[in-house]
A = this chain, B = another copy of it.
Amino acid sequence: MDGFGFIDGDQPPLPDPGEELFCHVRLARSPRVGTATFQRLMAEYGTAERALEALPHRVSRSGKADYCPAPKDRIEEEIARASAAGARPLLLGHPGYPARLAEIDDAPPILWALGDCALAHRPTVALVGARNASALGQRLAANLAKELGAAGQVIVSGMARGIDRAAHMASLETGSIAVLAGGVDVVYPRQNSDLAAALSTRGLLLSEAPMGLQPLARHFPKRNRIIAGLSQATVLIEAAERSGSLITARMALEQGRDVMAVPGNPLDGRAAGCNALIRQGAALIRDAADVLEALDTPIRQTPLRTNGFHDQTGHWMGEEPLPDRLHQMLHDLITTAPVPEDTLIRHLGLPVPQVVTALMDMELAGQIDRHAGGLISRRV
């Protein structure tokens, strides 16, 4: 007898590690399986293999009969390409996956890692900022990266031009992680091929994208959540209003992480995002000592919103609607403008698992899209 109620001789075979990787990647790459659904399916079915078996049935319950998981050959190819490139998989829920990243709501089910995976388990600070950074900004990023590195912090950034490049270059000796929007074997931008080569040996390249994926604009905000999610704090250096760096900062706040910012002259547009964050309570950073001080005595910003549904009381306020009725209610509530999942749950006042299951069904049915930060919108 074991703890799961199997009698001797009735135990399931131990999973083949290759098979486990294959099913994990295939589930993650299957249509309509976002990061949240991936985690809920895994929680429900225990293994990727069983979740994959149940997936067509779950989708057909939502009215789509001809659902197919991701094609097997595509997954085989992804794994083979990664193996050929020397990339290793970091699987959510398995050893080796960065612990801090696993904490966030929309942790990527898989990361491909090229380089020194041990770096992903050390204390990390993200340094992000403008691609068109000033010389002063790049110098400051380099100073920060070098001094934080000397203090034992691994630097996380996005391998873009400007601030990112300066931060990586200055932390190659002490520990540098680049999170990419495309595959870890795709160098973008081309000007950073020297940096990518250095990071793939002395540092670490991480991406949730399949090998070979050329990054598109829409991949970058998703990538930014990983930069923030890997890091105990995100420091912004020269970030304009509506910049990608501000998205990273917003995600860090949503994840309950510290956000810090280097100020700049208000007449320099590249300082606008940083100055605005400082006014909102982000620590003003002048040098590495300021970062280390803020890490030691974190002044937590109020998160922009509370993430997830585990904080909800799930109080029950009326008749339990039939699943069809609940789907209709959700359909009426969810528009093309993304809305936080917990707002929906609070609004409905129904038991949390019931709403979560209905939302998962709607996602699998292709009716809604999930976005970084727990936002949901109607698919157009």
Spell out A's residues near B (CB within 8 Å).
Answer: 134, 136-137, 139-140, 143, 262-268, 271-272, 275-276, 278-279, 283-287, 290
Contact = CB atoms under 8 A, between A and B. Distances in A.
Contact of A262 (B137, B266, B272, B290): B266
Given A278-B284, A284-B279, A265 B267 contact: no
A198 to B, nearest CB: 25
A136 B268 CA distance: 9
B287 A263 contact: no
A160 B286 CA distance: 28
A284 B265 contact: no
Contact of A267 (B140, B272, B278): B140
A299 to B, nearest CB: 11
Contacts of A139: 267
B266 A271 contact: no
9 contacts: A140-B266, A263-B271, A265-B271, A272-B286, A275-B286, A278-B278, A278-B284, A279-B283, A279-B290
A184 to B, nearest CB: 33
A143 B263 CA distance: 19
List the 5 shortest-distance A-B pairs measured between CB atoms, nearest first: A263-B263, A266-B286, A279-B284, A136-B267, A264-B265
Contacts of A271: 263, 265
A294 to B, nearest CB: 10
Contacts of A279: 283-284, 286, 290
Contact of A266 (B263, B267, B272, B278): B263
Contacts of A143: 267
The residue in A137, A275, A283, A287 that gathers the most chain B C-beta atoms within 10 A of its C-beta is: A275
B265 A140 contact: yes
A295 to B, nearest CB: 15
A167 to B, nearest CB: 15
A286 B283 CA distance: 17
Nearest to A277: B284
Nearest to A137: B265
Contacts of A264: 263-265
A271 B284 CA distance: 12
Contacts of A287: 266
A263 B282 CA distance: 14
Contacts of A284: 263, 275, 278-279, 284
A228 to B, nearest CB: 23
Contacts of A134: 265
Contacts of A140: 265-267
A43 to B, nearest CB: 44
Given A262-B265, A262-B266, A278-B284, 12 more contacts: A136-B267, A139-B267, A140-B267, A263-B266, A263-B275, A264-B265, A265-B265, A266-B287, A272-B286, A275-B286, A278-B278, A279-B286
A31 B51 CA distance: 92
A44 B246 CA distance: 62
A52 to B, nearest CB: 52
B265 A278 contact: no
A136 B284 CA distance: 21
A258 to B, nearest CB: 15
Nearest to A280: B284
Contacts of A137: 265
A283 B287 CA distance: 20
A162 to B, nearest CB: 15
